[in-house]
Amino acid sequence: MRTTPRALLASAMLAGLALTPVSSIAAAPAAQAAPYCGIHWGSLPKVTGYDVEQAPLTDVRAGRHDCFDRVVLDVSGDAGEYSVRYVNTYRAPGSGQALSLRGGAKLEVLVGNPTYDADGDPVYDPARPAELVGTTGYRTLRQVRLGGSFEGQTSIGMGVRARLPMRAFVLDGPGDGQRLVIDVAHRW
């Protein structure tokens, strides 16, 4: 059998590769995408502790931003306790009745702020409880609905496009009141 120069070159190359330790072969670094708009929020529940202050909820509004959609709950005093979490079924407080929400995911917002004052008189009584804010043109929000107030807590349901990163925090103002802010990112 005759060995050609081409066959010798191929054998030498294969032998050289076989002797090269795997650790010395440079692998391309794994490409890691930067977080969308620098968002590191995640989708786990956002919860604060118990607060005895129960200032009434006075308004719910929404706004569009470049990287997220925002819902703001205005409170006449301290915003106090809150819980914001994704749920499979959004339910009315007290009765437990399932309430529909448009979108691929549902956020339940519970606040320790009723929609009524200390005398039981309504402070926040929206004309359309199932459509608290218009969501036309929003990238993430599909619906914001009032579930109701029960035993000093108010429930707000947010239908969103998908289970996306979200955050919740309290800001001072307007006036002596505070605002609970819930942001939901447009994407991961």
DSSP sequence for 146-170: EEEEETTEEEEEEEESSS--EEEEE
Say what the pLDDT of residue 36 is.
86
Say yes or no to pLDDT of 17 above 80: no
Q: pLDDT tens for residues 61-113?
A: 999 999 999 999 999 999 889 999 999 999 999 999 999 999 999 999 999 99
Query: Could you tell me if residue 6 is inside a domain?
Result: no
Strands 57-64 and 166-172: unpaired
Tell me how crowded residue 33 is: count the other CB atoms within 10 A of its CB: 6
Q: pLDDT tens for residues 25-71?
A: 444 455 566 778 999 999 999 999 766 678 999 999 999 999 999 99
Say what the pLDDT of residue 12 is.
42
Query: Could you tell me if residue 25 is inside a domain?
Result: no
Residues in the chain: 188
CATH number at residue 58: 2.60.40.3500
Say yes or no to pLDDT of 13 above 50: no
Query: Could you tell me if residue 102 is inside a domain?
Result: yes
Which residues are 62's β-sheet partners?
Answer: 71
Query: Could you tell me if residue 131 is inside a domain?
Result: yes
Q: pLDDT tens for residues 116-175?
A: 998 999 999 999 999 999 999 999 999 999 999 999 999 999 999 999 999 999 999 989
Query: Could you tell me if residue 57 is inside a domain?
Result: yes
Q: What is the largest CA-CA distance in the chain?
A: 105
Query: Could you tell me if residue 63 is inside a domain?
Result: yes
Sheet strands side by side (includes 141-150): 46-47, 82-87, 105-111, 153-160, 141-150
Tokens of 133: 């804010």
d(CA 100, CA 98): 7
Query: Could you tell me if residue 181 is inside a domain?
Result: yes
Phi, then psi, of 36 in degrees rounded to 5: -60, 120
d(CA 125, CA 117): 12
Say what the pLDDT of residue 22 is.
43
Query: Could you tell me if residue 32 is inside a domain?
Result: no
Say what the pLDDT of residue 24 is.
44
Domain, as residue range, for 90: 41-185
Q: How many domains does the chain have?
A: 1
d(CA 181, CA 169): 5
